[in-house]
Amino acid sequence: MRTITAELLTIGDEILYGQIVDTNSQWMSVALSNVGIKVIRKTTVGDLEEEILNAFAEAETRADIILITGGLGPTSDDITKPCLAKYFNCEVRIHEEALAEVTEFFKSRGRELTEINRQQAALPICCEKVTNKMGTAPGMWFERKGKVFVSMPGVPHEMKLMMTDIVVPKLQKTFQTPTIQHTVIRTVGIGESFLADKIQPWEQSLPPHFKLAYLPSLGEVRLRLTAMGENKDQLAAESNRLVEQLRPLAGEYIFGIGEDPLEVVLGNALCQKKLTLAVAESCTGGYLSHLITSAPGSSEYFLGGLVPYAYDIKMAQLGVNPETLNQFGAVSEETVIEMANLIRTKFNTDIGVATSGIAGPGGGTPEKPVGTVWIAYADKGKTQTRKLQLSKDRMINIRMTAIATLNLIRQNLPQ
Amino acid sequence: MRTITAELLTIGDEILYGQIVDTNSQWMSVALSNVGIKVIRKTTVGDLEEEILNAFAEAETRADIILITGGLGPTSDDITKPCLAKYFNCEVRIHEEALAEVTEFFKSRGRELTEINRQQAALPICCEKVTNKMGTAPGMWFERKGKVFVSMPGVPHEMKLMMTDIVVPKLQKTFQTPTIQHTVIRTVGIGESFLADKIQPWEQSLPPHFKLAYLPSLGEVRLRLTAMGENKDQLAAESNRLVEQLRPLAGEYIFGIGEDPLEVVLGNALCQKKLTLAVAESCTGGYLSHLITSAPGSSEYFLGGLVPYAYDIKMAQLGVNPETLNQFGAVSEETVIEMANLIRTKFNTDIGVATSGIAGPGGGTPEKPVGTVWIAYADKGKTQTRKLQLSKDRMINIRMTAIATLNLIRQNLPQ
């Protein structure tokens, strides 16, 4: 079977100047590789007609599919659309359906459609419109001599919805893509190299049509098991068997299979067990609550949280004993146990958790350097704590603490 | 003056497959643009000889400088070095100084030098070695017919030190680089196209050596003003003058000049005015507190927050009047005013803010569809509210609400 290839072309001076990091192309790579399309090159060029036209022509000689992002805004520095019209040699005209969509978009936000926005509904007549549900600039799909060009906005959430809903399924239909089965095994609480050591025998015994990748991120390591073949059901059954063989080696770290992150998997478990949760977070400063409430439907089990950031607020609003704070400090096992129990009683929930630590960059001492964190879990029957020794980076420490706290809840869930 | 141009070439399958995000090239872009070298293209190719050699040749036709990262590891899939030797048509031999360095590197870590690592000291004889103080693979500097190729490791901290210490200064000396002045003007509370309409006369009157770019993100639009010339001080003075001319047209939306995001600019203002802040957030679920506390030093002005997610918690923990909730609902101007005043009194702060809305995807009604949000600001003397009609996307609504709330504080700061 022939490999279907794609090139990703990003257009925008802001990326060449380094003012934004291009995260789109990584996301797109994953989305394409999930359906068996191989990305062979990524290119970024600036907002210059000659550069853009050259990049189109070069990409067309190499790949089956050319996916373009950026340069579709309403302002004069955005020239992707006129460049595409020139490249495909066709005129630009107001597209009635696109105009209706952009008009509706503005109407639903109670805002007037300006002439500059009206022009976003003008499209080269030789392309097919790709609806943009999240913004005003439609995407464009061009086909010529077996090659496909798709132009999408650079705004990540607009591009992602367009890819997922329209572009990827249409590419699968246009090109006969091979059958690929990805299984994502999600682990938490263990580092990449330790995990690799533990699962080495399993990894070495994988059949040749399976490939394993380690995808570490802050506090979590995902294992992606990729199978390529012809029969989807057979590949899925083989993958499931392999996951079961992995469990005896690393089961305690596996919190889920698939795309759901820890906060969603945990939320589902709380929902199913009809348990409620409240949090008292100091060093995480609201991020733990945010993570929990980023899951739709979290109001079923999350009753609320308190961010007692100031020392006085810990006493006045949460009721932490001044003596505990005096004797052991805010960052201590004793304080964090009190916090978890207090928030549980105060909010009348089944489970209470608490975080307290030195997120940095300031506030460290020789005994409690930046990155020192205590977390606690409390339910009716027990209390559990953990001490973390994290990094010097504030945002990393906040994220790692929140993930470790969710994991502590997971490990202690009443049966 | 001629513009000195550079292309960035990243080599590695792991980037094409989307297994890692390429953050190197963004860092390199900034480092080069700071010294007036213009990045005109970024390219990523896989670990394939033909692809790599083609990419070298293409880049050489376009740019003065070709900076290559990746593919220098000791394993067989790393082929950047043999490709460079082939491209420049010269043999690879052990470089005595490089061998001494790599030997010392292993010795200092108490590890033995294996043959595979010894080979890292072999270099094409036509290149100049670029010392790698942080790792084992040396960089390589090639010059031919006025063009420079530099190959560096893909490991970020190794590449960065090499760039800062050796490559950038050597490029400045080799090419006579122009002076570039970037000014970033940060706005909030206005969309890209509306801002473009407002500032059109200013934009059209910009001198020819100035270029303007719009960099929109959720809830914010940055304007980047780039000037190129010879005298740094003169460009800076001109830029300042242009910013001052912009203020009468869009001053109310400009919250800062430079790299600091809204939460940091606002935090600095609160700190300077010695004002304290507390938040009561329902639909933002902790994200507003997180945004505020992501600024180092936020404990100076942020005393804490409450996330009264459940209906009962709004009454029991914050003290919202049950009648207000019954009569107007949780998502209403009346409720959010009470919340802002209550959190201010409860936490004894100068300023209290509150959010309540339907973040989605569920919970919408015909009168209050998903995306309906109320926010409120309260201080000793006044209360201000705003109604937002946002999107159907939960995470966007959370982010936009938090930004709008920070902006509401900014607009109402006591003098």
- In three-state secondary structure terms, B408 is helix
Q: Dump pLDDT digits (tens) for B84-95.
A: 999 999 999 999
Contacts of A16 in chain B (CB under 8 A): 29, 38-42
Tell whether the model's pLDDT for residue B174 goes beyond 70. yes
B190 burial type by CB count under 10 A (0-12 exposed, 13-18 middle, 19+ buried): middle
**Residue B226 to residues B5, B211, B243, B295, B392, Cα–Cα distance (Å):** 16, 5, 12, 28, 36
| Lowest mean pLDDT across A104-108, B25-29, B161-165 | A104-108
* DSSP symbols for B31-87: HHHTTTPEEEEEEEE-S-HHHHHHHHHHHHHH-SEEEEES--SSSTT--HHHHHHHH
ω into residue B369 within 30 of 0, thus cis? no
Rounded to an integer, the average pLDDT of B351-372 is 96
Instruction: Assess whether pLDDT exceeds 90 at residue B266.
Output: yes
Contact A114 B15 (CB under 8 A): no
* Contact partners, residue B118, CB within 8 Å, separation at least 6: B94, B99, B102
Which pLDDT band, with edges at 50, 70 and 90, does A173 fall under? very high
If we measure between CA atoms, which residue out of A90, A30, A107, A6 comes closest to residue B20?
Answer: A30
pLDDT at residue B207 is higher than 90: yes
Identify the CA nearest to A305 among candidates B190, B372, B284, B382.
Answer: B284
> Residue holding tokens 């001198």?
B207
Q: Is the Cβ–Cβ distance between B195 and B221 less than 8 Å?
A: yes
Q: What is the DSSP secondary-structure string of A386-408?
A: EEEE--S-HHHHHHHHHHHHHHH
Q: How far apart (Å, rounded) are the C-alpha atoms in residues A73 and A56? A: 19
ipTM above 0.90, yes or no: no
Identify the architecture of domain A262-412 in CATH: Alpha-Beta Complex (3.90)
Residue A294 is classified by DSSP as T
For A373-389, b where at least 16 C-beta lie within 10 A, e where not — what string? bbbbbbbeeebbbbebe
Is B388 within 8 Å of chain A by CB? no
The domain spans of chain A are 4-174, 179-257, 262-412
How much is the mean pLDDT over chain B? Answer: 94
Strands (E), A208-276: 210-217, 220-229, 254-257
At residue A27, φ and ψ (nearest 5 deg) are -60, -45
Average confidence (pLDDT) over A236-254? 96
B330: which chain A residues are within 8 Å (Cβ-Cβ)?
Answer: none
The radius of gyration of chain B's CA atoms, rounded to the nearest angstrom, is: 28
**Residue A1 confidence (pLDDT) above 70:** no
Tokens 């070095």 correspond to B81
* Residue type (1 letter), B228: M
What CA–CA distance (Å, rounded) separates A374 from A404?
Answer: 10
Instruction: Give the tokens for residue A377.
Output: 């879990």
B237 touches chain A (CB under 8 A): no
Using CA atoms of A325, A330, A336, A337 in order, give the dihedral in degrees to the nearest 10.
-20
Directed axis angle between helix A80-87 and helix A49-62, to 10°?
60
For B263-292, give the DSSP string: HHHHHHHHHHTT--EEEEESTTTTHHHHHH
- Kindly state the helix (H) or strand (E) to which residue A243 belongs, with its residue range: helix A232-250
CB-nearest partner of A39 from B16, B31, B302: B16
Residue A364 has pLDDT above 80, yes or no: yes
Nearest C-alpha neighbor of A349 from the set A291, A305, A316:
A305
Q: Which residues of A touch B59 (CB under 8 A)?
A: none
Is residue A371 helix, strand or coil?
A: coil
DSSP-derived secondary structure for A128-166: EEE--SSSSS-EEEEEETTEEEEEE-SSHHHHHHHIIII
Residue A181 has pLDDT above 90, yes or no: no
Own/partner pairs for B256-259, CB < 8 Å, 24+ apart? Answer: B256/B186, B257/B183, B257/B184, B257/B185, B257/B186, B258/B184, B258/B186, B259/B184
Question: Domain A4-174 - what CATH class?
Answer: alpha beta
- A193 to A36, A214, A217, B306, B386: CA distances (angstroms): 28, 10, 13, 39, 50
- Helix H segments across A8-73? 13-16, 24-33, 49-62
Is residue B60 predicted with pLDDT exceeding 70?
A: yes
Region B3-12 average pLDDT: 94
Count Cβ atoms below 10 Å from residue B230 Cβ, excluding itself: 10
Could you read off the pLDDT of A254-282 as tens digits, one per residue? 999 998 999 999 999 999 999 999 999 99
Give residue-wise pLDDT tens across range A370-389: 999 999 999 999 999 999 99
Tokens of A357: 């630590």
A8-63 pLDDT tens trace: 999 998 899 888 888 899 999 999 988 889 999 999 999 999 999 999 999 999 99
* C-beta separation of B29 from B39 below 8 A: yes
More reliable by pLDDT, A231 or B340:
B340
For A71-100, the pLDDT digits (tens) are 998 877 889 999 999 999 999 999 999 999
The mean of the pLDDT values for chain A is 94
Percentage of chain A beyond pLDDT 70 is 100
Coil, helix or strand for B162? helix
Extract the tokens encoding B327.
Answer: 């009569």
B346 at A interface, C-beta within 8 A: yes
User: For chain B, what percent of residues have pLDDT higher than 90?
Assistant: 80
Q: Are strands B5-11 and B65-69 parallel, antiparallel or unpaired?
A: parallel
A352: pLDDT strictly greater than 70:
yes
Could you read off the pLDDT of B305-353 as tens digits, one per residue? 999 999 999 999 999 999 999 999 999 999 999 999 999 999 999 999 9
Q: What is the dihedral of CA B99, B100, B101, B106, to 10 degrees?
A: 90
Nearest to B197 among A116, A312, A362 (CB): A116
Q: Which residue has the higher pLDDT, A330 or A193?
A: A330
Q: Best mutation site among A303, A307, A314 for testing chain B: the one with the most B CBs within 10 Å?
A: A307
Q: At A338, phi and psi to the nearest 5?
A: -60, -45
**Chain centroid to CA A116: how far?**
33
Contact A215, A223 (CB under 8 A): yes
Residues listed for chain A:
415
- Whether B415 has a pLDDT exceeding 80, the answer reads no
Count CA atoms closer than 13 A to A190's CA, side-chain side: 20
Closest residue in A to B293 (Cα) is A285
Smallest Cα distance from A316 to chain B, Å: 8
Lowest-pLDDT range, A182-196, B248-262, B381-395?
A182-196
| Chain A, nearest residue to B52 by Cα | A41
CATH 3.30.70.20 holds for B5-174: no
Whether residue A18 and residue B33 make contact (CB cut-off 8 A), yes or no, is yes
What residue type is assigned to position B182 of the chain?
A: H
Residue A57, chain B, CB below 8 Å: the answer is: no
Cα–Cα distance between A115 and A121 in angstroms, integer?
10
Which is more confidently placed, A257 or A177? Answer: A257
**Banded model confidence at residue B114, pLDDT cuts 50, 70, 90:** confident
Q: How confident is the model at residue B179 (pLDDT cuts 50, 70, 90)?
A: confident
Report yes or no: B68 and B52 within 8 Å, Cβ to Cβ.
no
CA distance B152 to chain A (A): 19
- In chain A, what residues touch B303 (CB-CB under 8 Å)? 309-310, 312-313
Q: Which chain B residue lies closest to A107 (C-alpha atoms)?
A: B389
Q: Which candidate, A186, A196, A178, A258, places its Cα nearest to that of A217?
A: A186
Nearest one of B347, B338, B337 to B320, comparing CA atoms: B338
Nearest CA of chain B to the CA of A10: how many Å? Answer: 9
3-class SS of residue A238: helix
Q: Across the interface, do A42 and B44 touch by the CB < 8 Å criterion?
A: yes
Q: Which of B391, B328, B326 is nearest to B361 (CA)?
A: B391
What's the CATH fold of domain A179-257? Answer: Alpha-Beta Plaits (3.30.70)
DSSP B220-266: EEEEEEEEEES-HHHHHHHHHHHHHHHHHHHGGGEEEESS--HHHHH
Which chain B residue lies closest to A283 (C-alpha atoms)?
B293
CA angle A319, A325, A331 (to 5 degrees): 110
DSSP letter at A2?
A: P
Choose from A290, A292, A348, A353 for mutation: most chain B CBs within 10 A: A290
pLDDT, position B1: 63
Q: Is B28 on the interface with A (CB under 8 A)?
A: yes
Please give the structure tokens belonging to residue B180: 């570039």
